[in-house]
Structures are given as C-alpha cells and as structure tokens.
Amino acid sequence: MAEELQGSSDTRQSSQRAGKRGRPRAEAATGLDAMEPDEQGWAQALMCRLWTAISKALFAEFLATGLYVFFGVGSALRWPSALPSVLQIAITFNLATAMAVQVTWKASGAHVNPAVTLAFLVGSQISLPRALAYIIAQLAGATVGAALLYGVTPDDIREALGVNVVRSSVSTGQAVAVELVLTLQLVLCVFASTDSRQTSGSPAAMIGISVALGHLIGIYFTGCSMNPARSFGPAVIVGKFTVHWIFWVGPLTGAILASLIYNFILFPDTKTLAQRLAIFTGTTEVEKVADRDPEKRDSHSTSEDTEMESVCQTP
C-alpha cells in the first residue's frame, strides 16, 4: 500500500514538473498565434496598397498607348476615296497625344512611350522596376490597339497597317539619325512641359504639338515613329519587322541624349550619385530626395514613383 502511495506521489510530481515546463511553450505558442493575424493583416494591407498603386499606373499606360496607336495609325490608312495627307496624319497624332496625356497624366505621368520612360529613368525620376513595368504595359497596349484597328478595318484597306518603313532613298544611318533628332526634341518638350520649375498645369497641348512637329518632317523619311511602341504594335499584328530595329535604336538614343541635356546641362539638379543609385533601384523615395534639392522638380511621374516606393517602406 505504501509503495502505491509513493508511486502516485511521484506521478503527481512528474506531472507538475512537466506542466511547468510545458506552460512557457504553450504561452509562447499562444503569443505567436496572437501575432499572426496582425502580421497577416499588415501584409495584406501592404500588398493591397502596392497593387493599387502599380495597377492603376500600368493600366493607364496600357490604355493611353492603345488609344494612341488606334487613332494615330488609323489616320495613316490609305482609303481610296480619301488618301491621307501628311498634315492630316500629323494633326491626328497631335490630337491623339494630347488626349492620351490629358487622360492619364495624373494616373501614371502619361509616358505612353518607352523612349520617354527611358529618359525619365536616366534623369533619376523613376525607378528601374517601375520603368520596366511601364514599357511592358506600353507594348501590350500598342499591340492591343493595333489588333483592334486591324479587326475593324476592311481587308482591302489594312495593307501594312501603318507599319513604319524607311524610304528607299534613305539609308539606315540617315533613318536612325532622323528618328534620334525627332525623339530628342519630343523628350526635351516632355521634360520642359512637366517640370514644375518651368510651367504648371497639364502638358497635353505642348507635347501634342511636339509630336505633330515630328510627323510633319519625319513622315517623309521613316513614316515617323518617335515611339518604339507605336512601331511595335502594328509590326506584331502584320508580322513585318523589316528594319524594325531602327525604330528602337533611334528613339531610345535620342531619349537618352535629351535626358542628359535637360537634366545635366540645361536644368541640372543636385542629386548625388548615391541618391541617383537609390532612386534607380527603388530603395528610396524620389520625393524625399527632391525635398532636399533646392531646385526640386515635382513632376507628376515623380510623385507617382514616390507613392509606389513609400508603400514598399510602410512599417
């Protein structure tokens, strides 16, 4: 009997010791369980805000580029009853540009052009991840816009669907040079029109005029691209990529030169190399860097970049 009582006492003591050892673990587990919903809620809120900021801007670029290609390229279709004139095409691209910029300026900065996006990247006004996303959205929008135009156009009118081609008497070097100069003046106008130190309000009218100016001259040489997305969309739909590289090399080179001229010669800012690298990689907010700049430029694309990057750094 005494042995049974002693065994029972030992069992109770062992259970008590096990309970003491298990209680902290249980409490710790309970604490983790209590934190998980908060962490999940924070992550969900962060992803929601991030997705909202990015998706709105990307959809704006997709929509604007699609409309630009539909109306602009549509004006160049050769209807037998009324062949398009150079002036008609230039005015239509002017109006299409002004419309696209006015509609999406506050949503994405209204780049509507991979060359413009590259120029803003070189000028440290947009991060690399955002620039790549913009370009993908622009190319997709241009393709959809060209596909829609192809679908609603009669078979005998489609032909090459306004694909950019180089005039037979113009060499490839001359074509690249023309596209470079045309895009250079366009990007300079975009910077000047969106720079709060120079002007305020919507830049739609001035950018549209710059596009019309380029078409009044460029159509005779290359059909006037100034926008790789404008050339890419129709080329994809009709499968015609002859000398297509010209309409990337020329505009992109012109955009880089224009960005260097405007941001480093005409109206330089005081960003340091470290700040530019941080903006390039998206690890800092563009607006915070601009606030430390006595001649800060508060273009809308900058504020949009700030919105996306600040979401990423929300505690």
Contacts of 104 (CB under 8 A, 6+ apart): 60, 61, 63, 64, 110, 112
Residues paired with 82 in a beta bridge: 79
Q: Is 73 within the bounds of a domain?
A: yes
pLDDT at 312: 40
pLDDT at 287: 55
pTM of the full structure: 0.76
Q: Compare 275 and 285 and report the one with higher pLDDT.
A: 275
Please report, as a single letter, which amino acid is at residue 264: F
- Which of 77-81, 118-122, 180-184, 287-291 has the lowest average pLDDT? 287-291
Structural domain harbouring 298? 39-312
Q: Is 33 within the bounds of a domain?
A: no
- CATH number, domain with residue 260: 1.20.1080.10
Q: Is 1 within the bounds of a domain?
A: no
pLDDT at 93: 97
**Per-residue pLDDT tens digits for 50-103:** 566 678 999 999 999 999 999 999 999 998 888 889 999 999 999 999 999 999
Structure tokens at 241: 């990529």
Q: How far apart are CA 132 and CA 230, in angstroms?
A: 17
Average the pLDDT over 275-289 and give the result: 74
Provide the domain count of the chain: 1
Q: Is 19 within the bounds of a domain?
A: no
Q: Is 132 within the bounds of a domain?
A: yes
Q: How far apart are CA 42 and CA 311, in angstroms?
A: 12
pLDDT of 7 over the 90 cut:
no
Q: Is 66 within the bounds of a domain?
A: yes
Q: Is 10 within the bounds of a domain?
A: no
* In the chain, % of residues over pLDDT 70: 72
Q: Compare 159 and 34 and report the one with higher pLDDT.
A: 159
- Which of 70-79, 149-158, 174-183, 278-287 has the lowest average pLDDT? 278-287
Q: What is the rounded (10 degree) CA torsion for 171, 188, 57, 251?
A: 10
